[in-house]
Structure 1
């Protein structure tokens, strides 16, 4: 086997060749190219800058200091800053990497990746990631060279709880802890929807006091066939601009759940409309635009007892 024929991944069970483009008849791209996506994103952000109302004084996190052990931590500096990535590319550390959509987002933004480090313990997600990364290499050959992803699953342990100093030494210097102040940040967390427990609500207020107010974004608003509401904090731009740009997105009405399913499967007609703060894309009596969530688990109401996440399979019924 020549060097050019070496598989992208070193895992024995994954035989994905660089020469093979992995595709599916169900792949329905939302954009004709990443350049088109960039242009639309830039348009929405520029529109938001011209229309959104910014506060006279930038929001500041609480000035209180949190004492833990022998150290005292100051609140996060939330002032938006201008940031540009290095022309040499970025090192992307993808914790809980799933199917590598984080890598896809970076590439779709036109950012060169010089190193990709992936951590995910779910075996199904890891296998799908292999297929997805192979697609991304075909789609973005100049932004994602083969050297970037060779052995990307083995650079760090698959279980994040096992990550230690020897692992960081093995992959090289990653200065995420020792910096006194990181230049930019994007933080994401799961919202506590419909949870009224006092202790949890108190912790939410404490977190916001430390890292500033948040913007809730739902992937369904921007074209996903499943709701995925997440809280976002970032200093890449004011939250008012981010919120206004998000609210300005007009979802394509043809992006139904059924359009990505096999011909013998279909979703249920909407019986209960979406409620805020989720994206309001499902309307009673209309084809389903988004499933309740991207993932299922045994106790999920969405995927049992006739829940809205269940699909009809004509080969069974």
Structure 2
């Protein structure tokens, strides 16, 4: 499914989405230069031959390790999900981490290069039992558009309550001491509903006993006390990362770690009673730990739902391990 060119311009606009077959990723110590191109041949020429030639031999891999995922390319990220409803993200990769791509039309394999690993996907077969060439073409066009667009991420709003400046002494605001919340949570999944979806992938992704790895990443806003504004609180943008052991907030400008929360201290993640009259307040949620409560704002409703589900999955698996 390639996006309609008449759709409104937005960093979250979907450029392409379809089911693809995931091959296990390969880690790399060296990466190709991040460079966009106007043709697939140029992309291939810009990646050293000794970096990617080994993928051509994989014309097929055992069915036992095939994973069919719903893959979505937006202007600001590439992500893939367990199901088409996009309720459970396997991985979300921001625009700045995607260096290049290569598409092998001979064997129907798409390789996406990131600083740490190669993501390898295989195109499904069409009605004639051959590789779906039209789908390959649509992904190629979308990826070229994705790489040729300027980097960066969409701000939630440009209103006066948002601040892009950072001081080293700025403090992330703790809204209140943690405790029972009367706020609604439209994303509150019951234990039975969660347990019915458990599988090996779920444990691999969220189990804290596994080696630490990224579950998802992106951009969130949280309230920060600004020293230069006499401790007035302002919303400020952070790069955030959720791993299977911690939730980390990094300075959007410098990349410096500003706050880290161990997941075993998190009690709940809830959607807040947002002000429906103010569009920018439709995506607020709170993270509750044993001794504090932090409010966050996502760029859109889907991002908010994804974050809540991922936090709740992290909480659930710890309950399972204890039981």
Check whether TM > 0.5.
no
Which is strand-richer, 1 or 2?
2
Which is helix-richer, 1 or 2?
1
Interval containing the TM-score (normalised by the shorter chain): under 0.3
TM-score, with length taken from structure 1? 0.26
Structure with the greater alpha carbon radius of gyration: 1
TM-score, with length taken from structure 2? 0.25
